[in-house]
Amino acid sequence: MSLLDALAIEERHGFDEVNRAIQRAGLGDGLPVVPPTPARVTAMLAGRDPGHIVATLPPARGAATLRRLALCAVLAGCAPVHLPVLAAAVEALADPAFNLLGVATTTGNTAVGLIVHGPAARHADVNGAGNALGPGAAGNATLGRALGLVLRNVAGAVPGQTDMSTQGQPAKYTFCFAENEPASPWGALHAARGLASTQAAVTVFSASGLLEIVDAASSDGAGVLTTCAQSMLAAGSLGGTGLLGGGQPLLLLAPEHAALIARTHSREQAQAALLAQARLPLERLAPDVRAHLLAGLPPGAPAPAAAAIAGQPEDVLLAVVGGVGRKSTYVPGWSGGGRAVTRPVDFS
């Protein structure tokens, strides 16, 4: 049973009192929470069936009922419009391809990130323009936080008990943003992944850090792609898959970078160029790491000359995010493996 079910907050309980209790009960993330009074939870549910099970989440095989999601959403500061987005994200997390059991319990420092696509971003006030990865917009801040609280309070990924992350990372507090779709020369990511561009949707992904990519000098797309590719060669992101950054790297391109690239490259061509260029020669690896990698190859398989960032071009995920400037961001996935998952949002 989740301790969430035992919450019986009433209007008479003071803000400080509720916050102390939530934190001491291990239901908080350390930041102040909104007291989940019955009125707030009812408003969050907006008439939906609180007992409806959206998904069952590892590691504790916790049933993500709408009531539990609503409680986390209230605690995080969400508005009622955010609940369907949160529910879609939870559904996506439960897809076996995402490997939530691994992501949520690893000693790795990975966080779960959330991209809100299409009409969902507008409805839910999720910013995809300037400072989209930073603070300011309520949707970004509270939806990402609610998802973090779901991992802790519903999935049962409790730091130190089941979430064994050696260092953690700030993105585990909150990590949610939208695409800057009007500024994308290639349309939206969810459309590239098979949904209608007019469909409200979310994508969840594992994020083992964020790396800024600065290139204000290149005057063509090939140059920007070279800078991006060379920025993705972190030896420490090499995992059991034999690929860098979990094999499904996410590149968040600033609109100006994307515009330069799009003069000469389609989305598919940009993905192929990145995959071709982003190769870490094996001789650059520490000897023991190299030996470990080679020992893990299937019997008879030829030794590769370099480690790649993905197995195929379409696994290089590109999204256009941000405002003015030539600063992009590389997000390596969890080195243990797992894939980004996209799901539609049902606002009805």
210 CB contacts (<8 Å, ≥6 apart)? 133, 171, 329, 330, 331
CA-nearest of 282, 288, 225, 277 to 251 is 225
| Binds another protein by CB under 8 A, chosen from 6, 217, 301, 305 | 6
Q: Is the dihedral of CA 212, 215, 216, 221 positive or negative?
A: negative
| Binds another protein by CB under 8 A, chosen from 15, 25, 276, 291 | 25
Residue 76 interacts with another protein (CB under 8 A): yes or no? no
Tell me whether residue 1 or residue 303 sits nearer to another protein (CB atom): 1
CA distance 162 to 74: 24
CA distance 330 to 253: 8
Residue 7 interacts with another protein (CB under 8 A): yes or no? yes
* Least spacing, CB of residue 25 vs another protein, in Å: 5
Look at residue 85 and give its three-state secondary structure. Answer: helix
Read off the tokens for 45. 């549910």
* Least spacing, CB of residue 34 vs another protein, in Å: 15
Residue 72 interacts with another protein (CB under 8 A): yes or no? no
* Least spacing, CB of residue 149 vs another protein, in Å: 16
Q: Is the CB of residue 259 less than 8 Å from the CB of residue 330? A: no
Tell me whether residue 11 or residue 288 sits nearer to another protein (CB atom): 11
- Determine the interface stretch with another protein among 1-9, 84-92, 103-111, 280-288 (rule: CB under 8 A): 1-9
Residue 305 interacts with another protein (CB under 8 A): yes or no? no
- Determine the interface stretch with another protein among 4-12, 66-74, 134-142, 145-153 (rule: CB under 8 A): 4-12
* Least spacing, CB of residue 21 vs another protein, in Å: 5
Look at residue 244 and give its three-state secondary structure. Answer: strand
**Backbone phi, then psi, for 208, in 5-degree steps?**
-100, 50
Tell me whether residue 153 or residue 184 sits nearer to another protein (CB atom): 153
- The type of residue at 228 is C
- The type of residue at 52 is H
- Determine the interface stretch with another protein among 9-17, 106-114, 133-141, 329-337 (rule: CB under 8 A): 9-17
Q: Which residues bind another protein (CB under 8 A)?
A: 1, 3, 6-10, 13, 17-18, 20-21, 24-26
